[in-house]
Amino acid sequence: MQRPARATIADVARVAGVSKATVSRFLNHRDRLLSDDIAARVEAAVAQLAYTPSPMAQALSHGRSRLIGLIVADITNPYSVAVLRGAEKACQDAGYLVMLFNLGNDIDREREAIDALAGYQVDGFILNTLGRGTGLIDAEALRGKPAVLVDRRHAGMHTDFVSLDNAAAMQLACGHLVEGGHRELLYVTEPQKGVSSRRERTAAFGACVQSQGPRVSGMVFECEADDAAGLDAALQGLHQRARRARRRAAVLAGNAVVTLRVAAAMARLGLQFGSDLGFVGFDDPEWAPLIGPGLSAIAQPTEAIGRSAATCLLERLKGLEGPARQLLLPGELVVRGSSAPAS
């Protein structure tokens, strides 16, 4: 009744009439130390039994699991999924498997996630988490395994880091809006808390407005998830202020979640993107072209970010030493109706 258990190295050895050690050598050091006839016999036996090494046993013995632990703050976030996709592909191509742990936005589970993954002897970590909360991830927790941070830096951790070039991207967005005649800018972001990417973008927004001199004015609104009224008021205020001053106004959204909230608020207020209020949002979700006249966006190279993160990690696994690296990838401005120049 029981399916024949998968062949082990011992089975192969028996069939080939050699020792386990020889089989192991054939598998791992195929190049050196091998007589032709024996190699052929082992190869035949492997093929005949459809033998595949047990990664678990290899991990136990050799210490390496060929597993990469990927921790995501919130799998619901399409950004995270896109990054995951890129990372997974790169890992698979390199013969690694990705173990995913989703925090479900419960920041206090970071430590739990690390421990669970470390238990399975993952060779390294890709982290897209907040780096805050009870179980702060420190170098200790990683048990010496290499890690790479994505999108969000962690206080006091100097590991490799991959992310969008937030400053340049913000400049792209602001420059485009100002060129299009927008003079009142409102940047809407999720509460910054300690999240590095949010802080960087907000700071970059300030710098951009500053650099435009007095002709452009900018404000920042931190938008709590449950504060629809506050967002409505902010947008309404922006719109009326601009009308009184006979200036064009525009909204910048810090990510796709905020874009969604802004779009909902615009609908509630009966305002039109493009004509009433200009708009550019970070992230370029698939539905962006379908809202109103189409939402202009800063598209992140998410796939490349994921791939780069994985590559960084794989290099470290190959023994690359040296100081922590920073990879800042450029965003791309996608212009649609919401930021059309003066009508």
3 interacts with a second copy by CB under 8 A: yes
For residues 14 to 33, the per-residue mask of contacts with DNA, x marking binding by CB under 7 A and - elsewhere, is ---xxxxxx-xx-xx---xx
6 interacts with a second copy by CB under 8 A: yes
28 interacts with a second copy by CB under 8 A: no
- Least separation, in Å, of the C-beta of 99 and DNA? 18
Taking the least distance from each CB to a second copy, the nearer of 209 and 256 is 256
Taking the least distance from each CB to DNA, the nearer of 23 and 242 is 23
User: What is each CA distance from 295 to 52, 110, 158, 173, in whole angstroms?
Assistant: 50, 35, 37, 12
Q: Which of 253, 249, 301, 247 is nearest to 280 (CA)?
A: 253
140 interacts with a second copy by CB under 8 A: yes
Q: Which stretch binds a second copy (CB under 8 A): 22-30, 99-107, 124-132, 236-244?
A: 99-107
User: Taking each helix axis from N to C terminus, what angle separates 9-16 and 20-28, rounded to the nearest 10 degrees?
Assistant: 110
- Least separation, in Å, of the C-beta of 10 and DNA? 6
- Residue pair 148/162 in contact by the 8 Å Cβ criterion: yes
DSSP annotation of 321 reads -
Taking the least distance from each CB to a second copy, the nearer of 218 and 278 is 278
Rg (C-alpha) for the chain, rounded Å, is 26
What residue 167 binds from DNA, a second copy, none (CB within 5 to 8 A, per partner kind)? none
291 interacts with a second copy by CB under 8 A: yes
For β-strands 326-329 and 160-164, DSSP reports them as parallel
326 interacts with DNA by CB under 7 A: no
Q: Which stretch binds a second copy (CB under 8 A): 10-18, 31-39, 40-48, 78-86?
A: 78-86
What residue 326 binds from a second copy, DNA, none (CB within 5 to 8 A, per partner kind)? none
CA dist., res. 196 & res. 175, Å (int):
23
- Residue pair 234/262 in contact by the 8 Å Cβ criterion: no
Q: Which of 63, 17, 62 is nearest to 42 (CA)?
A: 17
CA dist., res. 155 & res. 209, Å (int):
28
Taking the least distance from each CB to a second copy, the nearer of 137 and 209 is 137
